[in-house]
Each structure stands twice: as structure tokens, then as C-alpha cells.
Amino acid sequence: MKRTNRFLEVAAVAGVLVLGVSGLGATASAAVSAAPGCDVAAAYYDTAPNSGNIAMVSNAVHCLIDAERAAAGLPPLTRVSSLDAAASGHAAAAASLKWWSPGADSHTNPQTGSTPWSRITGAGYCPNPVSWAYAETTYTGWGGSGTPRAAVHWWVHVSTYGHRQIVLSPTLTQLGVGVAAGAADPAGAGGSGGGTYVVDFGRCQQ
């Protein structure tokens, strides 16, 4: 059994995928790496996250996203530490608070009020940009649907709420992945194999 969030919010405007902001500056965002060794990460494509495998499950999400982009003729995305921090914090909060029930806004934390914009900028992504863009996707599942493959498949091949357009965006070039064990939907609180996924995408020109 699974539940998936079906709401997309970027810059607090439903349906908008990216936001450009003008400014000045020349400080580069800290890049972690391009896609990790996907031959190793492939072993985790169908594995739900737990306390001992979060890093590898996170790498698996990145690899699966890059594979979908390659199939569409798009380049891979570069991992960025600030986007990782923003996504990871939101995934952990969601799995703990479990507010992603059907109809809820999975992108706004009901306790702190944080949004994709506040989390991404708060993590230090793309300071003083000439132009920049960002987007966020979320997913939670359990009972066999809490895996990286289930999350990326839903974003690209099932959702009709703009997730595919984000993952396969030709203009977004960077990402950060957040993964937490357990479902963020209260209906999955007692379910086995739960996983919560947040991916923050970006483009930064400085």
C-alpha cells in the first residue's frame, strides 16, 4: 500500500516549476559530485531506507533520476551539498511529523512554516545570484512502495502534477536528495518498508 503526495509548490505558486531571481555576485555553490557509482547504488534501487543505508538509498535516487534523464537525452545532474541539506532536513521532518495525508501540502512544514524557498536559501544555495531557479519533488510510500525506484517511477511515469517536468527539466542542472526511513503519511505509520523522499533541484548562475 502506498500514498504519494500530489501537490507541487514552488515559490508558493501552485503549478510553477522554477523561479528566477536577479542579483549580483560570483560565489560558486559547493558541488559534492556528479552521479555516484551507480553500479553500487543499483543494489539499493528496490530497498526501503533504514538507519544504516540512508546514504546509499540517496545515491540510488540520484542514479535513477540521471537514468531517466539519459533516456530523455538530457545530461546528468550535479549533487550540491546545500541542496542535500535542504532536502534531507525536510524529509526527516516529514517522516517524524507525518503530515503528508491526502490533500495536505507536503512542501510546507506545518510546525515551522518552512517552504522550498526558505529551506533552499536557508541552506546557503546560490548566494547573490545573477539568476537562479529551483524546484522540489516529494514522495512517500510503504509496503513495497517505499523504495527509490518507486519514488522516481512515480515522479516520471505516474504523476500528472508537474513532477516529470521537473525531473526532466533541460534547464535545471543540480540536485540534492533527502531520504528518511518511514512513511510521511499517517496512514503508513505502522506499515513496513516505509520511505520518505525529497529532491531539491536547482540552477545557479553567479
Task: Write the CATH number for 74.
Answer: 3.40.33.10
Q: Give pLDDT, residue 38.
A: 94
Q: What pLDDT, on the 0 to 100 scale, is given for residue 198?
A: 98
pTM comes to: 0.85
Q: Which residues pair with 202 in a beta bridge?
A: 134, 174
176 belongs to a structural domain: yes
Query: Is 8 a domain residue?
Result: no
Q: Is residue 15 part of a domain?
A: no
What percent of the chain has a predicted confidence (pLDDT) above 70? 83
Q: Which residues of the chain have pLDDT under 50?
A: 1-34
pLDDT score, position 188: 96
Sheet holding 31-33, edge to edge: 31-33, 78-80, 174-181, 195-205, 131-141
Q: What confidence score (pLDDT) does residue 201 get?
A: 98
Tell the residue number behind the cell numbers 540520484, with chain if given: 62
Does 146 map to a domain?
A: yes
Does residue 19 fall inside a structural domain? no
pLDDT of 128 reads 92
Task: For residue 84, tell me if it sits in a domain.
Answer: yes
The count of domains in the chain is 1
Domain assignment of residue 84, given as a range: 38-99+112-205
Amino acid at 112: T
Asked if residue 132 belongs to a domain, the reply is yes
Cross-strand partners of 138: 198
pLDDT at residue 36, as a whole number: 56
Residue 1 confidence (pLDDT)? 32
Q: In the chain, count of helices (H) and strands (E)?
A: 6, 7
Whether residue 136 is contained in a domain is answered as yes
The predicted structure's pLDDT at residue 47 = 98
Please give the C-alpha separations between residue 185 and each of 53, 80, 97, 105, 122, in angstroms, as whole numbers.
Answer: 21, 28, 9, 11, 26
The pairs formed by 105-111 with CB atoms below 8 angstroms and a separation of 24 or more are 105/7, 105/9, 106/5, 106/7, 106/138, 106/140, 106/184, 107/7, 107/8, 107/9, 107/10, 107/136, 107/138, 108/9
- Residue 111's Cβ-side half-sphere holds a number of Cα atoms within 13 Å equal to 8
